[in-house]
Amino acid sequence: MVLPEKLLSSLKGVEGFDKEVFEKTHASSEQVTSVRMNPGKRSIDNIQWSMDGAIHNSPFIIDNKIPWTQYGYYLKERPSFTFDPLFHAGCYYVQEASSMFLEQALKQTVGLSIPLKVLDLCAAPGGKSTHIQSLISKDSLLVSNEVIQSRVPVLKDNIIKWGCTNVIVTNNDPKDFSRLKNYFDVIVVDAPCSGSGLFRRDPEAIDEWSENNVKLCSLRQQRIIADVLPSLKKNGVLIYSTCSYSKEEDEDICKWMEEQFQISNFKIQISSDWKIAGSSYGYRFWPDKLKGEGFFLACFQKKDGEDFFLVKAKNKLTLVNKKEAAIIETWIGEKRMQYFLRNEMIYAIPGNFEEDIIFLYDNLRIQYAGVAVGEIIRDKLIPHHALAMSNLICGSIPSVRVSYDTAIDYLKKKEIKIQTPGKGWHLVQFEGHNLGWINILANRINNYYPKELRILKESV
Ligand code: SAM
């Protein structure tokens, strides 16, 4: 792996940069694999996330805990996640370790137990969004936005798999958020960047790196921040991150922000054992110093702006009628939900968000909200996959526990052969976790796993 000479020379003098070991680390073929557990999945405790052994049927061996996050672990080797049913059940997210430092930024700058409005502006494929969702309270609302339309489906699928009820997925340009002045308590900008921090994982990206691209990225980062900052409230927190080593995209952007806007830089506590390099504005992750890829993060507090008051909107959500609500309530145990219809699909959102959702529908291109419950056809609910992935389902909904091989057949959307316990809709469970729905008929079992999510590979 030959790193761009211009990148190496531009990093001279940057906090924590040590050319020789940096190049050596890139030349070695070492790969770090890490996962972040989903605390929102029911019975997660039943899985033995032990430090020293396989967890379930897949070759999933934990090495160590990632020190800056409550939920992250390094794995000894990279297993085939595709062939792990618990991956498809949303029990964990495969995520680069350094980027889980977002947890420290949130914990140390924001009171996470209070209801917050959080925007993850550059969200696809959803690593930071699922992490944020695990950290905020149930009464908080996360707007998970992705501007590039083709990247929205993967974001939506990951949000559904994570089992979230309090997340709205949007497809907006950063400038659209100027309509939401002073609305958010926290904004995370995990900015599109030149990507040098991920060279070790993706050596092909080296060919795409150029000084000119760094310049273009830094101009785009400025535009993104200038566009979104009006939607942050006074005293609100902005978390800015990149996976680039270039100062032009990191400290220089922070300096520019401080000069342009009424914001102040936040310092957070880091343990020296973590081997993270503190820099003038933020925190730098060097792969030759710690177990993780290149990453930069900085936190700011906005000093101007006004209070936000939600004006009662003229528009309303189309709520389900009493009869429909009664049908839904036979499926859903959680009482504090509000159900509304959008293009025939019923969505569940926590009741306290109704006004916010109307406000967001009025101002943004919402692609998904809360939990898709399903459609009612001839007085019967056809449940959506998202309902199976959520924690909303009543304990009385029938389920079938399947073996590893049957789980894989199910996830391949093959016909599955099991002893049928009864007729009708059943949840398919593997090691206590829902994978999706089947409908058991008199003479066959219909597999309702979403076609677009099915495993395409025949074997590991
Ligand atoms: N936060 C994501 C995660 O943790 O999974 C990764 C985000 S990635 C570093 C940057 C994202 O910014 C990409 O999804 C990309 O599509 C999006 N993006 C590209 N151009 C953008 C722009 N002009 N404004 C906002 N986002 C943009």
89 and 433 in contact (C-beta within 8 Å)? yes
Q: Which residue has the higher pLDDT, 403 or 47?
A: 403
**106-142: pLDDT as tens digits:** 999 999 999 999 999 999 999 999 999 999 999 999 9
User: Does the beta carbon of 151 sit less than 6 angstroms from any atom of ligand 1?
Assistant: yes
Task: Name the pTM for this structure.
Answer: 0.96
User: Does the beta carbon of 148 sit less than 6 angstroms from any atom of ligand 1?
Assistant: yes
pLDDT mean over 11-27: 97
pLDDT for 63: 82
pLDDT for 43: 52
State the distance from the centre of ligand 1 to the C-alpha of 379, rounded, in angstroms: 42
**205-245: pLDDT as tens digits:** 999 999 999 999 999 999 999 999 999 999 999 999 999 99
Mutate to test the pocket of ligand 1, among 128, 147, 198 (most ligand atoms within 8 A of CB): 147
CA–centroid distance for 264 within its chain: 27
Lowest average pLDDT, out of 167-176, 305-314, 437-446, goes to: 305-314
pLDDT for 420: 82
Q: Which atom of ligand 1 is nearest to the CA of 125?
A: 5
pLDDT for 128: 98
Encoded tokens for 294: 């290149």
3-state SS assignment for residue 183 = coil
Q: Of 40, 104, 71, 66, nearest to 237 (Cα)?
A: 104
Q: How far apart are CA 221 and CA 409, in angstroms?
A: 44
**Angle at the Cα of 181 from the Cα atoms of 179 and 184, rounded to 5 degrees:** 110
413: left (phi over 0), alpha (psi -120 to 50) or beta: left
pLDDT mean over 284-313: 94
State the distance from the centre of ligand 1 to the C-alpha of 103, rounded, in angstroms: 19
**26-64: pLDDT as tens digits:** 999 889 999 999 999 855 444 444 333 344 544 567 788
3-state SS assignment for residue 39 = coil
User: Does the beta carbon of 228 sit less than 6 angstroms from any atom of ligand 1?
Assistant: no
Q: Of 201, 197, 179, 230, nearest to 363 (Cα)?
A: 179
The domain segmentation of the chain, as residue ranges, is: 97-302, 311-393
Encoded tokens for 323: 């009869």
Residue nearest to atom 9 of ligand 1 (CA): 192
Q: How far apart are CA 329 and CA 337, in angstroms?
A: 10
State the distance from the centre of ligand 1 to the C-alpha of 441, rounded, in angstroms: 44
User: Does the beta carbon of 275 sit less than 6 angstroms from any atom of ligand 1?
Assistant: no
pLDDT mean over 390-418: 94
> What string of DSSP letters covers 270-333?
--GGG-PEE-SSSEEE-TTTSSS--EEEEEEEE-------PPPPS---EE--HHHHHHHHTTB-
297 and 98 in contact (C-beta within 8 Å)? no
Mutate to test the pocket of ligand 1, among 122, 128, 167, 224 (most ligand atoms within 8 A of CB): 122
311-393 CATH fold: Nuclear Transport Factor 2; Chain: A, (3.10.450)
State the distance from the centre of ligand 1 to the C-alpha of 306, rounded, in angstroms: 28
Residue nearest to atom 2 of ligand 1 (CA): 123
pLDDT for 460: 80
State the distance from the centre of ligand 1 to the C-alpha of 315, rounded, in angstroms: 31
Residue nearest to atom 17 of ligand 1 (CA): 122
3-state SS assignment for residue 150 = helix
State the distance from the centre of ligand 1 to the C-alpha of 242, rounded, in angstroms: 10
Q: How far apart are CA 433 and CA 408, in angstroms?
A: 14
Q: Of 51, 88, 72, 61, nearest to 435 (Cα)?
A: 88
Q: Which atom of ligand 1 is nearest to the CA of 126?
A: 5
Residue 361: its H or E element: helix 354-363
Tell me, yes or no, if the two domains 97-302 and 311-393 fold the same way: no
Q: How far apart are CA 278 and CA 272, in angstroms?
A: 10
Residue nearest to atom 3 of ligand 1 (CA): 127
Beta strands across the sheet bearing 399-401 = 399-401, 424-430, 433-440, 445-447
User: Does the beta carbon of 147 sit less than 6 angstroms from any atom of ligand 1?
Assistant: yes
pLDDT for 61: 75
Residue nearest to atom 18 of ligand 1 (CA): 192
Helix axes 251-260, 211-228, angle to 10 degrees: 40
| Cα separation values, 259 from 17, 240, 253, Å | 26, 16, 10
User: Does the beta carbon of 127 sit less than 6 angstroms from any atom of ligand 1?
Assistant: yes
Query: Candidates 3.40.50.150, 3.40.228.10, 1.10.10.10, 3.30.465.10; correct CATH number of 97-302?
Result: 3.40.50.150
pLDDT for 376: 98
Backbone angles phi, psi at 338, to 5 degrees: -115, 140
Encoded tokens for 37: 């557990």
State the distance from the centre of ligand 1 to the C-alpha of 146, rounded, in angstroms: 7
pLDDT mean over 275-284: 97
